[in-house]
Amino acid sequence: MSKIAKTSRLLSRGARKIVTRPGEAWLLLRMAWWVAVLSAMARFYSLPRALEIVAGNQKRSNGALNREDLARAIDLLLSADVLIFKPICWKRAAVLHRYLSRNGTPTKIIFGVRNESGGKVDGHAWLEADGQPILEKDPPNYVVTYSFP
């Protein structure tokens, strides 16, 4: 699908969401802002500093949003697969970390790697709460290389 078609589809879905579910549309807009901030900060700062900027003040509350709803929202946003909105695990983890922490679920962002066939290395980022992976389809099977915070 061309970038113009993807952008057009994204805009029409966004307009429909504003009319049918304004609260979810507002959440998606806020998440889009933080994806943009993260993408820019990761270009100019180290990854730990970029994550720190996006994490912000963890003591503030955004209300009682359900974990699964937050995960669904960021997955929907990143599924647009246009410009900076691509389904990239570390962006998902960083934005979810921000929203979950502000909703009373402290998390850690975990980065890991594993060997794949053909000598390739695969990497992944996910969230853990109380030492357990959360909001993952399958349990991550990676060697942990970095965690934040």
Give me the pLDDT at residue 44, please. 95
Segment 73-84, tens digit of pLDDT: 999 999 988 888
Give me the pLDDT at residue 16, please. 65
Give me the pLDDT at residue 111, please. 97
Give me the pLDDT at residue 65, please. 75
Task: Respond yes or no on whether the N-terminal peptide bond of residue 149 is cis (omega within 30° of 0).
Answer: yes
Distance CA 134, CA 112 (A): 15
Interhelix angle 47-55/22-44, rounded to 10 degrees, is 150
Give me the pLDDT at residue 136, please. 92
Whole-model pTM: value is 0.83
Give me the pLDDT at residue 45, please. 95
Give me the pLDDT at residue 30, please. 92
> Across the chain, how many H-helices and E-strands are there?
5, 4
DSSP the chain: --HHHHHHHHHHHHHHHHHH-HHHHHHHHHHHHHHHHHHHHHHHS-HHHHHHHHH--TT-------HHHHHHHHHHHHTT-BTTB---HHHHHHHHHHHHHHTT---EEEEEEEE-GGG-EEEEEEEEETTEEES-SS----EEEEEE-
**Spans of the chain below 70 pLDDT:** 1-19, 58-64
Segment 18-37, tens digit of pLDDT: 667 777 888 999 999 999 99
Give me the pLDDT at residue 66, please. 87
Identify the three-state secondary structure at position 133.
strand
